[in-house]
Every structure is written in C-alpha cells, then in structure tokens.
Amino acid sequence: SSLSAGTGGLVLYDLTSSAPHNKEFSPHCVKTLMDLKLLDVGYDRQRLTFTQVRTDLAKRVGDNAATVPTLELSDGTHLQDSWLIANWLANHHPKGNALFPFPSSRPFAASLNAWGRSNFAAQLRSLTRPPIHDSLTGESKIYFEQVKVGKQKLEKMRAMTQAERDQQIQNCIVALEPIQDALAAVRESHNASAGSLSTVPLWLEGDQEPTHADFCVYGWYVHSRSTGPTITREIWHALPLVSQWVNALNAWAGNEITKDF
Amino acid sequence: SSLSAGTGGLVLYDLTSSAPHNKEFSPHCVKTLMDLKLLDVGYDRQRLTFTQVRTDLAKRVGDNAATVPTLELSDGTHLQDSWLIANWLANHHPKGNALFPFPSSRPFAASLNAWGRSNFAAQLRSLTRPPIHDSLTGESKIYFEQVKVGKQKLEKMRAMTQAERDQQIQNCIVALEPIQDALAAVRESHNASAGSLSTVPLWLEGDQEPTHADFCVYGWYVHSRSTGPTITREIWHALPLVSQWVNALNAWAGNEITKDF
C-alpha cells in the first residue's frame, strides 16, 4: 500500500501563477514545502498553474477534483491535502515526529489549520483575490474569475473603497490575535521554567525548531504576500510577536523558498 | 508576595444576572469555575451583578476597572483575568500541571482563548446581547445598555431580521471549525497509536481529563446559552464532534455548575 512506501523519489506538485512566473501563493502548498524542509526530504518540485492542475495533474492522479499540494510517492500513488501529507510524513519519516512533537500537537495544529481557512481567510480574501487574478493569464485567469471566485464577487472586491480595504486589514489583525497570544504564552512558559532553554523560543509550540503548527499559519502569511508589501506589512507586522515570528520563519525558510513569494 | 500564598481560603467573585437570579453567562468566569473543579479546590463563591462588580468589588480590589473572575487569596491579594488565574493555579497548586499538561498546552489554550474573544465572539455577540440585557434589572441593565454595549448597537441587534439572525448562526458554526478539526485530530492520533488509551478521548488535548484548553472554549458555550435552547442547539450541535464534546463537558461539569446556565 502507499503507506508502506518510503520518502525517497517524491514528486511535489505545487501551485504557481501563469508561466514563466514562479510565484508561490497557495497557503496549503507552503505548509508542505515547509514540512519537507523541516524533515530535510529531497523531492522533485513540479510547479503547475490552475489550468495544469485541472488538466495534467487531474489526469495523472485520475481524479477530476485533484488539488495541490499533491505528493507522488515512488510507487506512483498520490497523497492530496496538506494535512494528510503532514500526517503521512509524521507516520513514515524517521524524524516525522518533529512535525507534531507533543501529545497535543495534532489538535493544536488542526485548530490553527481550520482557523486559517474558516476565520482568517474570511477576512483576507477580498484583499488577495484581485491581485492573484492579476497575476494569472489565459485559462487559469478565466477559471479563477469564473469558477473559483465568481465574476460578480471579484468585481465587488475590486470596487472596495480605501475605507473598506482598511476595515478588512483591521479585521485581519484582530483575527491574528490567537497567534499573538499563543506566542506570548510560549514566552510565559519559558520564563516560568527559568531558562531551561538557552534562548527565548520563537515558535508556536515553544520547541527549538518550528513545527507543523507554525507552517499552518505561515501558509496564510505567504498567501497574504500576493497583496504586495504594504498590506502584508500592515497585517503581519502590527502585532509585535507575530511580526518577530514572521521574520524568523522567513529566515528559517531561506531564499530557496522565499524568493518566490 | 501573593504568589507564595496557598490555595486554601479562596474567594471567587463571579458574575450573575440581577438578584435573586443565579444565571451564569460570563465566558471568563466559567473558565475559572472549571479550573477549580479540575483541581478539586474549595472556595467561597460570591455571585455579583454588573453593578456590584463596579461598586463592591472595585472597592474591595482597590481598582475602579475591576473585572470578574477575581480570585481573592487567603492573604487578601486579588488575581484578576481567567488566564492569569489559570497560570497562577498551574504554578501553585500541587496538581496544577493538569491545567496545562503538555509542553505546548499553554500556547494551544492561549490561541483558543483569543479565538473565543476575537473570532467566535464577533459572530455570537449580536445573538447574546439582547437576551442578556433582558435578564438584567436596575443599574446593571443601564450599565450593560449604555456603557458595555451602547444603546444604538443594542437596538440594531434587536432589530435583526430572521434571515440576518440565521446568517449569524451560520457564521458561528463556521467559526467553530477549529474546534471540530482539533477534536478530529485527537481521534486521528488515538487511532494511529492503536488504542494506547482504553477509550476514545473526548477532550481537546486528547488526555484523560479536560484541560484549560477545553475550558477556554466551553466558556463561550455557556455564554451562548443565554440565547436560549434553540439557538444554542443550532450553533453547538451542528458539528458532530463539537456536539459530543459539549455533552461530555456538561456531564463532567455536573449539576452544581450547569444548573445556572
């Protein structure tokens, strides 16, 4: 079965804007990129447009509803959905435990994963969709406008006033309070244990390395980057610990990943 | 210092509707009630109205901005804010570790605590404030209307159409997805470890007893109860694992606590 395959010979199918660009903006693909980096797993990275996902990848996976990220194992089976991929890596890679190091890491990461999708994204959406639409061409652009978002909704987003846009930015900052408070609690724990770690922890679970919990949130930071540097700064650098965390994760991810944001 | 006081002789100042009622609707007081139950700590419970908080408690604490829950220690010092109280109990009660049993329990609970305040409450607010206003009399009713909520906002909430109310209920259900997904992840972990626990875990951190993380969410369930049984059922029993979790926590809390909801 696919679950007995190793982590050698992997292919990661990832989303990008229209060729020849290499823009990374999928919140979910970023989670998998970061998981693979944490575990230092090698893979062949295939960048696909929306159109290529719906044609080439759908054909390869044998599912018209194929999505990215898709991880192709060496035996030809496919894993879809960043959460399922993280669980597979956790269960099958020798160091997989690093993704979910503690007994409640899975529910913590799952709650952040759903927070991104159901709470934060609801506030962010109207700011990211117009610029993502701008970055696409051809069939991908038509699909994004007509199927994924809807022509009328996209036009409404484009027609927002500056005041409405500012309100959405404020809503995004409020929606980030769970992340700010989690990072503050990590520092409280660190201070209570009086320096059992040599340095103040930077990551959401307070460990020496980031974990899947961090990546579930970071995916939405990367997605936000499609709004450009000004709005990204307004949202992600308003709360001091979130700002520090973003900077630390950008450094951890390294230029090989961040050059595409 | 207050931090060297023991957990004997505690007084808990808690919120209620106008006397002689004993209705419990403060999301934050519930968190402390549940913390104290988990640790099996005895205390004298003082139920206060909004007016009594702003007069009697403010005087006792020596702070006009006094809030509930307030925990009075045997040496006469006061702890305010459910998060600070939980941390104090965790650090000073012999079994305090039960509130935050794992290395990432504090950031997990802190993120849920902020999720309640900044994400879920924003959707719930317009449904709970009119019935809470109805349950108050005298100065408390005037304070709630004019200071805490604002007369115009409260009138707008009362004037909502059924369609608008239904939309808010749907928004609340979407906002609960992080809780549903966390509970699903607990079950995934349980299944992956092939029954290392004898029974399927019910709580957010997957442990044998609920933890402060559960209580941070449960406070908002109790707060929701002010809307009456129909809306409470629509919101909290729409997602199957959340529904099961609510039922389990109600049973765990017991009649002594739940009779006041």
As given in the structure block, the two tokens for residue A51 are: 């159109």
CB contact under 8 A, B182 and A111: yes
Confidence of residue B193 (pLDDT cuts 50, 70, 90): confident
Chain A residues with beta carbon closer than 8 angstroms to that of B213 = 104
Length of chain B: 261
- Rounded average pLDDT over B144-149: 96
Nearest-CA residue of chain B relative to A188? B106
DSSP H helical ranges for B27-160: 27-38, 50-52, 58-61, 82-92, 105-115, 121-134, 138-143, 151-158
Distances (CA, A) of A178 to B109, B120, B159: 9, 11, 31
Nearest-CA residue of chain B relative to A119? B175
Distances (CA, A) of B7 to A243, B36, B42, B72: 38, 10, 8, 10
CATH code 1.20.1050 region(s) in chain A: 105-127+160-258
What is the H or E stretch that residue A43 is in? strand A43-48
CB contact under 8 A, A107 and B174: no
State the number of CA atoms in the 13 A half-sphere of B251 facing the CB: 9
Q: How far is B183 from chain A (nearest CA, A)?
A: 7
What is the model's pLDDT at position B49?
93
- Rounded average pLDDT over B40-44: 94
CB contact under 8 A, B188 and A91: no
CATH code 3.40.30.10 region(s) in chain B: 2-99
* pLDDT per position as a tens digit, B154-170: 999 999 999 999 999 99
Q: For residue A259, what are the contacts with CB-CB under 8 A and spacing of at least 6?
A: none
Chain B residues with beta carbon closer than 8 angstroms to that of A177 = 114, 117-118
CB contact under 8 A, B106 and A179: no
Backbone angles phi, psi at B110, to 5 degrees: -65, -40
Average pLDDT, chain B: 93
Considering only the beta carbons, identify the residue of A115, A186, A189 that sits closest to B178: A115
Contacting B with CB below 8 Å, chain A residues are 87, 91, 100-115, 117-119, 122, 174-175, 177-186, 188-189, 192, 204-207, 213
* pLDDT per position as a tens digit, A60-78: 999 999 999 999 999 999 9
Q: Does domain B2-99 have CATH number 3.40.1710.10?
A: no
Instruction: Provide the 8-state DSSP code for B119.
Output: I
Site from A97, A104, A211 to mutate, B interface, most B CB atoms within 10 angstroms: A104
Cα–Cα distance measured from residue A185 to residue B105, given in angstroms and rounded to the nearest whole number? 9
Considering only the beta carbons, identify the residue of B106, B122, B185 that sits closest to A107: B185
Distances (CA, A) of A261 to A40, A185, A228, A249, A250: 21, 29, 10, 13, 10
At A168 the three-state DSSP class reads helix
Cis peptide leading into residue B20 (ω within 30°): yes
* pLDDT per position as a tens digit, A129-139: 999 999 999 99
Chain B residues with beta carbon closer than 8 angstroms to that of A205 = 103-104, 107
User: Is it the case that residue B137 has pLDDT exceeding 70?
Assistant: yes
Higher model confidence: residue A4 or residue B147?
B147
Q: Does domain A105-127+160-258 have CATH number 1.20.1050?
A: yes
Instruction: Provide the 8-state DSSP code for B70.
Output: E
What is the model's pLDDT at position A189?
84
